[in-house]
């Protein structure tokens, strides 16, 4: 058995080995990663905060509807009647605790132009079919909305198949099509803001946004939150970006009618990920992707989101890098794979080394070693630990600040919704989630690379040369719940509770919004 003296010598020796030039480089690299994240989140926060100040300034000048329009004159009937028609397509799968709230926020949009909603399910046995049907019956004469049954996908992912079926059924006069995930909680002015940017700059190929995760308290939910936060920097540009989130994508409807740049065929023929496929097409044809500063959406995570569901979600995210459209897309995915894996473990290793430095220092302190005996091994190590601690706190503060500002922006953009708050965030769990998530990412990515198969909501997708080669369904081997929203995929029909105060308020907003139904 290892004695305590042997343990002390081992820790001291290990601490000294972590002071070699290579080890010092690794530890300094970890500090640099922390600082770069802190700077990136600070820049993203400044852009979101600028939008908050703009809205507040407009409100002080008398425009109480600044969360909808910068210029209050845009609310005039003469301007509203000229707004283009928009079709909102939402592929559905399963039914969970947050779906009703999300769907209500979408169909009660305050967009003043012609607007239709197409909710697309794979079959009538999906719990989402019954839930959305009952919800739409409440708004029967207030919104133009339909439920469409798409049947089963065979050449692409079920989500993409549902989206393309929605495109086939959209109104012939729709100018723009907005794809939404069913876990997106829109603001009343979101559709109007996206449409305005499309009208202002016809060169825009896709407009996108990004979710603000609201952790439910479990470690798995915080791992989701920390996974999304670094990506949020790429969406908080206030303009052009190279990133795309499939949960919110507004595009020109004619791009799909004419299969411009192969958007339909690229998705239909072996497409696994809608956003990665469309982002690759945008890059290949040098088309513009933008993300307006108001396009940040509350994303409540399931209250029972356990660690297993987080792992399934991470597996699906890393598997995305195995799909590609062109050779260039393949090279970019491989590069992203390598860089992300390198940075993930490059982020983790300094904390492991810091733990050894601290453990050695504590053992030497309690054992009463003389300063001469331990100075050589501990002083350089403890200096690095101090530097890493400062960088970590800077990173967490910047992360907190961006989250605080995005929460504030969401509250301003949705004044009728329940107030969001940072009070429920546990920042110790956030830090632990950062360590856990970055440790697991390379493992998940490597497994995805060698498996070339993924189980997505009970559907097995097999890739070959970056495209879906085979689709296999098996309810027996699939999960019962989806990963993030905790939605029931099978079983009892969706249940719609009685109308609450918020439901009544949502209905009032829908009545105030606009036209009833439009003939096809």
With respect to residue 319, please indicate whether it lies within any of the assigned structural domains: no
Residue 148 lies in a domain: yes
Confidence of residue 272 (pLDDT cuts 50, 70, 90): very high
β-pairing, 467-473 vs 459-464, is antiparallel
Listed in sequence order, the residues at least 6 apart from 142 whose beta carbon sits closer than 8 Å to its beta carbon are: 507, 510, 511, 513, 516
The mean pLDDT value of the chain amounts to: 85
Domain total of the chain: 1
Give a yes or no: residue 238 inside a domain: yes
For 11-14, the CB contacts below 8 A with 24+ separation are 11/356, 11/359, 11/360, 11/363, 12/360, 12/363, 12/364, 12/374, 12/377, 12/378, 13/377, 14/356, 14/360
Question: pLDDT tens, 112-164?
Answer: 899 999 999 999 988 889 889 988 888 877 889 999 999 999 999 999 999 99
Cα separation, 360 vs 331, whole angstroms: 44
Assess if residue 25 is contained within a domain.
no
In angstroms, rounded to a whole number, what is the distance separating the alpha carbons of residues 379 and 392? 20
Query: Are the beta carbons of 346 and 27 closer than 8 angstroms?
Result: no
Taking CA atoms, 469 is separated from 257, 262, 330, 452, 473, in Å, by 25, 19, 17, 10, 14
Confidence of residue 487 (pLDDT cuts 50, 70, 90): low
517 and 85 in contact (C-beta within 8 Å)?
A: no
HSE of 81, CA atoms in CB hemisphere, 13 A: 3
Instruction: Please compute Rg for the chain using Cα positions.
Output: 25
Question: Which of the pair, 496 or 368, is modelled with greater confidence?
Answer: 368
| Among 68-82, 324-338, 428-442, the least confident range | 68-82
- Whole-prediction pTM: 0.85
For the domain that residue 114 is a member of, what is the CATH number?
Answer: 3.90.550.10
Asked if residue 494 belongs to a domain, the reply is: no
Residue 400 within a domain? no
Distance of CA 179 to the CA centre of its chain: 14
Return the residue matching tokens 């990663």. 33
Residue 156 domain flag = yes
Residue ranges making up the domain that contains 181: 67-304
Greatest Cα pair distance, the chain, in angstroms, is: 87
Strand 467-473: give its sheet, edge to edge. Answer: 453-456, 459-464, 467-473
- Residue holding tokens 């953009």? 413
* The pLDDT of residue 519: 40
DSSP string, 271-320: ---HHHHHHHHHHHTT-EEE--TT-EEEEEPPTT--HHHHHHHHHHHHHG
Residue 17 belongs to some domain of the structure: no
**What's the rounded Cα separation, in Å, for the pair 241 and 251?**
15
User: Does the pLDDT value for residue 512 go beyond 60?
Assistant: no
């Amino acid at each position: 058995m290892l004695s305590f003296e042997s343990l002390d010598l081992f820790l001291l020796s290990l601490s000294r080995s972590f002071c070699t030039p290579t080890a010092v480089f690794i530890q300094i690299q970890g500090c640099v990663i922390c600082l770069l994240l802190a700077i990136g989140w600070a820049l993203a926060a400044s852009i979101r905060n600028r939008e908050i100040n703009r809205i507040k300034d407009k409100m002080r000048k008398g425009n109480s509807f600044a969360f909808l329009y910068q210029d209050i004159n845009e609310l005039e009937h003469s301007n509203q009647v000229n707004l283009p028609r928009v079709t909102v397509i939402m592929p559905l799968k399963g039914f969970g605790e947050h779906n009703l709230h999300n769907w209500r926020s979408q169909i009660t949009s305050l967009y003043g132009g012609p607007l239709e909603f197409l909710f697309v399910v794979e079959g009538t046995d999906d719990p989402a079919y019954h839930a959305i049907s009952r919800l739409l019956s409440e708004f029967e004469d207030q919104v133009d909305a339909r439920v469409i049954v798409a049947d089963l996908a065979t050449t692409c992912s079920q989500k993409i198949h549902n989206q393309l079926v929605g495109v086939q059924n959209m109104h012939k006069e729709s100018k723009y099509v907005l794809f939404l995930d069913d876990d997106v909680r829109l603001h009343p002015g979101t559709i109007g803001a996206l449409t305005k940017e499309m009208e202002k700059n016809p060169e825009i190929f896709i407009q996108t946004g990004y979710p603000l995760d609201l952790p439910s308290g479990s470690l798995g939910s915080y791992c989701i939150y920390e996974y999304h936060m670094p990506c949020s920097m790429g969406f908080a540009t206030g303009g052009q970006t190279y990133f795309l989130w499939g949960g919110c994508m507004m595009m020109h409807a004619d791009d799909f009618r004419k299969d411009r740049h192969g958007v339909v065929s690229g998705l239909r023929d072996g497409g696994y990920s809608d956003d990665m496929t469309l982002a690759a097409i945008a890059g290949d044809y040098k088309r513009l992707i933008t993300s307006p500063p108001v396009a940040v959406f509350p994303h409540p995570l399931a209250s029972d989101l356990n660690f297993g569901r987080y792992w399934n979600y991470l597996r699906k995210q890393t598997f995305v890098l195995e799909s590609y459209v062109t050779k260039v897309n393949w090279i970019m995915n491989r590069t992203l794979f390598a860089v992300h894996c390198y940075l993930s473990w490059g982020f983790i290793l300094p904390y492991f080394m810091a733990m050894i430095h601290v453990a050695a220092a504590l053992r030497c302190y309690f054992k009463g070693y003389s300063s001469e005996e331990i100075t050589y091994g501990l002083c350089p190590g403890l200096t690095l630990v101090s530097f890493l601690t400062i960088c970590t706190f800077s990173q967490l503060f910047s992360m907190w600040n961006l989250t605080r500002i995005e929460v504030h922006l969401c509250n301003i953009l949705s004044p009728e919704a329940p107030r969001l708050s940072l009070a429920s965030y546990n920042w110790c769990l956030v830090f632990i989630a950062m360590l856990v998530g970055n440790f697991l990412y390379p493992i998940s990515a490597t497994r995805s690379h060698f498996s070339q198969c993924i189980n997505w909501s009970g559907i097995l997708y097999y890739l070959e040369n970056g495209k879906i080669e085979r689709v296999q369904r098996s309810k027996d081997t699939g999960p019962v719940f989806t990963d993030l929203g905790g939605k029931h995929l099978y079983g009892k029909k969706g249940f719609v509770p009685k109308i609450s105060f918020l439901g009544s308020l949502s209905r009032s907003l829908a009545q105030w919004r606009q036209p009833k139904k439009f003939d096809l």
